C-alpha cells in the first residue's frame, strides 16, 4: 500500500512538472511574465511538499528508510557544495559538476532516490548560492527527472558497457536539460518573430521556431554541459560508482525505483 502511494505521488509530481512546462503553449495568447513570477513560489512549495510526503511515507513503510534518508541527506549536501564551487569558479559554457553525482546516485540507488536527490539538490544549492528565482521549480523538476531516468537504466554485467552507457546518458541529459529548461521562459519572450513563440500557429510551426531559437541561443552552451558531464564521469565516475555500490552493499539495502 505504501509503495503504491509513493508511486502515485511520484506520478502526480511528474504530471505537475509536465503541465508547468507545457501549459503556456496551450494559452490563446502570449502569457504575461507576471504569471510566471506568481506561479513559481507555488510550484516550488508543491514540489517540496510532495518530496516530504514521499519521505514520510517511505519512513512509515520501510524498515531501512532511516538509512536511505541519511544517505540522501549526505549526498544532497555534498552535491550542493559542488554547486557553490561552480558559482565561485564558473566553468566554460553550461558546465556544472552537479549532474554527475545525481546520475550516479540514481543509477546505484534507484529511480525514486534519484528523483529526490535531483530535486532537493537544486533546492539546497539555490538556497546556498542565492540562485532562487522563477527558474527554480523548473530546475528542480528537470534535475529530478535526470535522477529518475538514471534509475531506469539497465545494469549491464560488462563494466565497459556499463560505463559507456553512463557516459552516453550523461551527454544526452547535458543537452536535454538545457533544451527542457528553455521551455520555462521561451513562451514569455517577445522578440524576433522567426524564433519567438507565436500562439495559434500549430505544433509544427512552434517546433520549427523553437529549433531556430535553440540553435541560436543554447546549442553551444548545452554542449559545454554535455561534454562536462562526460569529462567528470570519465575522471571520477568509476571510483565514485564503486564507492556508492560498496556503501549500498555494506548497509545491505537496495532502494528499488
- In tens, the pLDDT along 16-42 reads 999 999 988 888 888 887 877 888 888
Highest mean pLDDT among 25-39, 46-60, 125-139, 195-209: 125-139
Residue 233 — pLDDT band, cuts 50, 70, 90?
very high
- pLDDT at 149 > cutoff 60: yes
Per-residue confidence (pLDDT) for residue 102, from 0 to 100: 96
**Torsions phi, psi of 212, nearest 5?**
-65, -45
* Cell triple for 60: 512509515
Task: List Cα–Cα distances, 46 to 53, 136, 137, 254, in angstroms.
Answer: 10, 12, 9, 28
pLDDT, residue 190, reads 67
**What integer pLDDT is reported at residue 60 of this predicted model?**
66
Alpha helices in the chain (DSSP H): 2-22, 33-61, 65-88, 99-109, 111-129, 136-150, 159-182, 203-217, 219-232, 238-250
Residue 68's pLDDT is 76
**pLDDT value of residue 203:** 82
For 3-21, give one letter per residue: b (16+ CB within 10 A) or e.
eeebeebbeebeebbeebb
Amino acid at each position: 500500500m505504501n509503495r503504491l502511494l509513493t508511486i502515485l505521488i511520484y506520478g502526480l509530481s511528474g504530471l505537475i512538472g509536465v503541465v508547468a512546462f507545457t501549459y503556456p503553449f496551450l494559452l490563446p495568447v502570449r502569457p504575461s511574465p507576471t504569471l510566471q513570477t506568481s506561479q513559481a513560489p507555488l510550484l516550488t512549495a508543491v514540489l517540496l511538499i510532495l518530496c516530504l510526503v514521499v519521505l514520510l511515507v517511505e519512513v512509515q513503510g520501510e524498515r531501512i528508510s532511516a538509512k536511505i534518508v541519511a544517505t540522501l541527506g549526505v549526498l544532497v549536501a555534498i552535491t550542493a557544495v559542488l554547486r557553490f564551487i561552480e558559482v565561485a569558479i564558473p566553468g566554460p559554457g553550461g558546465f556544472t559538476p552537479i549532474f554527475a553525482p545525481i546520475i550516479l546516485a540514481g543509477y546505484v540507488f534507484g529511480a525514486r532516490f534519484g528523483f529526490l536527490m535531483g530535486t532537493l539538490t537544486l533546492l539546497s544549492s539555490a538556497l546556498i548560492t542565492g540562485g532562487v528565482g522563477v527558474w527554480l521549480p523548473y530546475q528542480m523538476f528537470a534535475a529530478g527527472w535526470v535522477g529518475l531516468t538514471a534509475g531506469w537504466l539497465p545494469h549491464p554485467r560488462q563494466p565497459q558497457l556499463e560505463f559507456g552507457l553512463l557516459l552516453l546518458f550523461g551527454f544526452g541529459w547535458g543537452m536535454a536539460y538545457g533544451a527542457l529548461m528553455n521551455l520555462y521562459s521561451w513562451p514569455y519572450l517577445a522578440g524576433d518573430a522567426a524564433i519567438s513563440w507565436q500562439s495559434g500557429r500549430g505544433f509544427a510551426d512552434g517546433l520549427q521556431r523553437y529549433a531556430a531559437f535553440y540553435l541560436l541561443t543554447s546549442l553551444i552552451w548545452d554542449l559545454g554541459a554535455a561534454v562536462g558531464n562526460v569529462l567528470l564521469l570519465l575522471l571520477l565516475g568509476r571510483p565514485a560508482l564503486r564507492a556508492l555500490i560498496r556503501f549500498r552493499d555494506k548497509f545491505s539495502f537496495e532502494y528499488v525505483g
